[in-house]
Structure 1
Amino acid sequence: MPRRHHAVTLQQATQESPTLSMLTALTRDSSERLRAIEKLIPPTLRPTLQAGPIDGTSWCLLVRSNAAAAKIRQLLPAFEAHLRSRGWEVNSIRLKIQT
């Protein structure tokens, strides 16, 4: 039986694949978490952060430099408390320095 290749949109692919659907949901959730804590982040540090992966109750923030990470590290308890108050189950936030 000949295979027919046809183009599908990214949205169609994610809807048809459980794995892609889960990854899309996790990416969306991570971005929403970052938006939720944005007002707690000093304006000069906001551009240094990116939403990272979610692993169970642990969330990762990607940081552009060690200096920014040192300052953000002090804010992590406030971020965690704020996210929990908004309904997210976050037991820890880890930072990963992007190189």
Structure 2
Amino acid sequence: MAHLSSIARDSQNRLKAIAPLLPMSLRPLIQSGNVEGDDWCLLVPNSAVAAKLRQILPALCAHLRTKGWDVNTIRLKVKSPK
């Protein structure tokens, strides 16, 4: 259980680290997802948000690496509507 809490906390910390680089209008729409090795997932509400984020993914990865995280890939997953 402690391991899962640690992973969730790490994912949230990554999201906080990239928040200043995200467009202000998109910040409340993006949620942190799974961390698997050097791969991290962001959850987005729709394909339009995903398309906008794809443009800045290389900068987000580079920023996280400067902060000490080993991130080579950020995946985007569109959440299904409830």
| TM-score normalised by length of structure 2 | 0.96
Q: Which residues of structure 2 form unaligned runs of 5+?
A: none
- Give the one of 7, 14, 18 matched to 1:37: 18
- Give the one of 53, 72, 80 matched to 1:91: 72
Structure showing greater relative contact order (alpha-carbon pairs closer than 8 Å, 6 or more residues apart): 2
SS at match of 1:96: strand
- Maintained 8 Å contact 1:36/1:83: yes
- Tell me, yes or no, if structure 1 residue 61 matches structure 2 residue 32: no
Match of 2:27 in 1: 46
Q: Which residues of structure 1 form unaligned runs of 5+?
A: 1-19
- Root-mean-square deviation (CA, aligned residues, Å) is 0.5
Deviations 1:67-95 (A, max 9, x none): 00000011100000000000000010000
Q: What is the total number of aligned residue pairs between the two structures? A: 80
